[in-house]
Amino acid sequence: MRAGKKLTRVFRAMVGRSYPRIIGSNRDKSWLFYDTVLPLLGTVAFVYVYKALGAPERFIGYVIMGGATTAFWMNVMWSMAAQFYWEKQGGNLELYMMMPCGLTPILLGMSLGGLVATLLRAILIVSLGSLLFHVSYTLPQVPLFLLIFTITIIALYGLGVVFASLFLFWGREAWHTVNLFMEPVFLASGFYFPVRALGFWVGLGASIIPLTLGLDAMRQLLFAGMHPALLPVEVELAILGFVAILFILLARHLLQKMEYLARREGRLSLRF
């Protein structure tokens, strides 16, 4: 009985925290323009660069996929990693710490709410970009593609929870840290080009970011036989699964550390 009540409480907390991000975003239709059309302009710019250079047509598909993926990375960094810091500034973090459900359902609700809006944005970018530039994809292994996408998202949002705890511990530098992680990740993850172009060992090192292997594996499936792969799809999927578990365990440890510091010692900063 107690377990059932606990699960009900956790579920309600998740739904309650995801509600503002799912329902609230739909009340303001302007996000369709600001979050879809404007980011698409940057993607279009890269497309015309490749066209001017006479690159193979598949590179247009790389750019469109990269443009859609940036939506997830920006959501993780701005709406997950820096979220606790902003909640602290707004005076809501104390309320989260006192909730009986704990911090995990709160972050799961944030992830779910942000994922729904970001997924819609990514689908619109891929659809519009593919229609504008007549890009076609071949996807003979749909279940494998969906599995890779799902594990990549789980690992990515696990990384977001890790950053959320770390940014709160670091304090005022959260804003600058988010900006610091933006452009280098665009380069290291190969958002607009095959990551193998950076070299095997550089690409392997960048695999700590789930998007690196996730993008490479999905491109191998979409452009079969034409994509210069970093690793075989099966190997990349196994590494993604390991990274997802690693980030989930690390995120759980940091959340417990945060709750301990807040409830037992009345502070949210680390002392070394």
pLDDT value, residue 262 = 65
Cα-flanking dihedrals φ and ψ of residue 271, to 5°? -115, 125
Q: What is the mean pLDDT of residues 222-233?
A: 84
pLDDT value, residue 272 = 40
| 192 or 256, higher pLDDT | 192
Kindly report the pTM of this predicted structure.
0.82
- Name 103's Cβ contacts closer than 8 Å, sequence gap at least 6: 96, 97, 255, 258, 259
- The confidence band for 123, taking pLDDT boundaries of 50, 70 and 90, is confident
Write out pLDDT tens, residues 96-120.
Answer: 777 777 777 777 777 787 777 788 8
Query: Domain of 111?
Result: 2-265
Is 271 a domain residue?
Answer: no
| 265 or 90, higher pLDDT | 90
How far, in Å, CA of 171 to CA of 174, rounded? 6
How far, in Å, CA of 232 to CA of 30, rounded? 41
Write out pLDDT tens, residues 192-224.
Answer: 888 888 888 888 888 888 889 999 998 888 887
How far, in Å, CA of 78 to CA of 175, rounded? 9
Give yes or no for residue 251 having a pLDDT over 80: yes
Is 272 a domain residue?
Answer: no
Write out pLDDT tens, residues 8-18.
Answer: 777 777 777 77
User: Are 160 and 85 spatial neighbours (Cβ–Cβ below 8 Å)?
Assistant: no
Percent of the chain with pLDDT over 90: 7
- Choose the most confident range, by mean pLDDT, from 16-25, 38-47, 190-199, 235-244: 235-244
| Number of domains composing the chain | 1
| Residue 82 CA to its chain's centroid (Å) | 13
Q: Which residues of 64-84 are buried (b: 16+ CB within 10 A; e: fewer)?
A: bbbbbbbbbbbbbbbbbbbbb
- Choose the most confident range, by mean pLDDT, from 34-38, 181-185, 245-249: 245-249
Give yes or no for residue 271 having a pLDDT over 60: no
What does pLDDT average to over the chain?
79
Cα-flanking dihedrals φ and ψ of residue 38, to 5°? -65, -45
Percent of the chain with pLDDT over 70: 86
Is 254 a domain residue?
Answer: yes
pLDDT value, residue 238 = 93
Write out pLDDT tens, residues 170-187.
Answer: 666 666 777 777 778 888
Q: What is the mean pLDDT of residues 133-155?
A: 85
- Name 75's Cβ contacts closer than 8 Å, sequence gap at least 6: 114, 115, 117, 118
| 171 or 272, higher pLDDT | 171
